[in-house]
Amino acid sequence: MAYKPQFYPGSTSVGINRRKHMSGNLEKLRDIPEADVTAIMGHRAPGADYSSTHPPLKEMGEPDCPVRQLVAPTAGAAAGDRVRYSQWTDSMYFAPSTPYWRSYWGAINCKGCDPGTLSGRQIIEARERDIEAYTKAQYDSEMTDVALCSMRGCTVHGHSLRLEENGMQFDMLARTEMGKDGNVYAVKDQVGIPLDKKVNLGKPMTEAEAKKRTTIFRADGVPMCGAVGARKYDEAVEALHHMWELRSKWGFRPE
């Protein structure tokens, strides 16, 4: 019988959504043009050649290495692209994804990527044409809401701050803005340099939809531990207790 990864425990919407993110089986909600994604990333002008750090692998004459023979290079690696990044900030107010789940998604589903997980931002680095594809996948899918999530290379402050009155996540550099037509527009790239033209990212999720798609446990959404005076642990907590206990006991090793 073929192995089927289980990914994550729990029967709540949060548990289900976490499994979806990890499996990569995500719903596509929008289609941001590749050129616009490239512009927002800010590493190269849309249509420009990719910068490279080495010649294409086929021209390099690779050493006789069994691992290299076993693992096919990504398109970016094969072409010799430089390594670039995209970094996301997800609001704690029910943004669909969270840093760890973006990282799990990347580590499980994106070949040749290097995810980094912090509290207020999550970065994935990869060869340039690969990271462009991975970034578009994140932008287009249910991992991302255009009001509660945004790409921020620096000055990322905002994930834990109250939302703007129009429901947008706070951004000191105001890289995105809510249009009068109800669509969210990207007006600056990841590091805050103004774009030549605004990019229409589409309409944000409603609060109800964000709560439905989120991967964060919260007391005012799906709680992980019930509430003060009425504790009820999610299956994830029970699994975690088990792991914590085993790790603690393993470290004792009285022999």
Partner 1 sequence: MAVKHTKKLFIKALNKKFGKDFDLAGQKVEYKRLGIEQSARKREFIEYARKVEGKRGMTGYNPMVHAGGIPMGQRQLVPYKLSGTEYVVEGDDLHFVNNPAIQQMWDDVRRTIVVGLDMAHEVLQKRLGKEVTPETINNYLEILNHAMPGAAVVQEHMVETHPGLVDDCNVRVFTGDDALADEIDDQYLIDINKMFPAEQAEALKAAIGKTSWQAIHIPTIVVRSCDGGTTSRWSAMQLCMTFIDAYNMCAGEAAVADLAYAAKHAAVLQMSEMLPARRARGPNNPGGLSFGFLADMVQTSRVAAADPVKVSLNVVAAGAALYDQIWLGSYMSGGVGFTQYATAAYTNDILDDFCYYGVDFAADKFGGFAKAPKTLDLAKELATEVNAYGMEQYELFPTVLEDHFGGSQRASVLAAASGITSAIASGHSQVGLAGWYLSMLLHKEGWGRLGFFGYDLQDQCGPTNVFSYQSDEGSPLELRGANYPNYAMNVGHQGEYAGISSAAHAGRMDAFACNPLIKVTFANPGMVFDWADVRACFGKGGAREFRAAGERSLVMPAV
50 binds partner 1 (CB under 8 A): no
Closer of 57 and 108 to partner 1 (Cβ): 108
Annotate 3-38 with b (16+ C-beta within 10 A) or e (fewer).
Answer: eeeeebebebebbebbbbbbbeebeebeebeeebbb
Chain center to CA of 234: 24
- Which residues fall within 8 angstroms of residue 6, CB to CB, at 6 or more apart? 19
Q: 44: number of CA atoms within 13 Å, CB side? A: 19
- Interaction of residue 11 with partner 1, rule CB under 8 A: no
Name the minimum Å distance from CB 236 to partner 1: 6
Segment contacting partner 1 (CB under 8 A): 24-32, 75-83, 140-148, 241-249?
241-249
Q: Residues 85, 88, 101, 185: which binds partner 1 (CB under 8 A)?
A: 101
For residue 98, state whether it binds partner 1 (rule: CB under 8 A).
yes
For residue 248, state whether it binds partner 1 (rule: CB under 8 A): yes
Number of residues lying near partner 1 (CB under 8 A): 55
Residue type, 97: S
What residues contact 239, with CB distance under 8 A and at least 6 apart? 9
> Counting contacts by CB under 8 A, is residue 219 touching partner 1?
yes
Least distance (Å) from partner 1 to the CB of residue 15? Answer: 11
Smallest gap from Cβ 126 to partner 1, in A, equals 18
**Cα-based distances in Å from 215 to 31, 80, 103, 160:** 22, 36, 13, 15
**Rounded Cα gap, residues 249 and 252, in angstroms:** 5
Residue 195 engages partner 1 in binding (rule: CB under 8 A):
no
Instruction: Please state, in angstroms and as integers, the Cα–Cα distance from residue 132 to each residue in 46, 52, 58, 75, following that order.
Output: 11, 15, 22, 11
**16 counts as binding partner 1 under rule CB under 8 A:** no
Residue 92 as a binder of partner 1 (CB under 8 A): the answer is yes
Q: Is 60 in the site for partner 1 (CB under 8 A)?
A: no
* Contact residues for partner 1, defined by CB under 8 A: 18, 92-93, 97-101, 116-120, 155, 157, 159-165, 167, 170, 172-173, 192, 215-220, 224-229, 231, 233, 236-237, 240-241, 243-245, 247-253
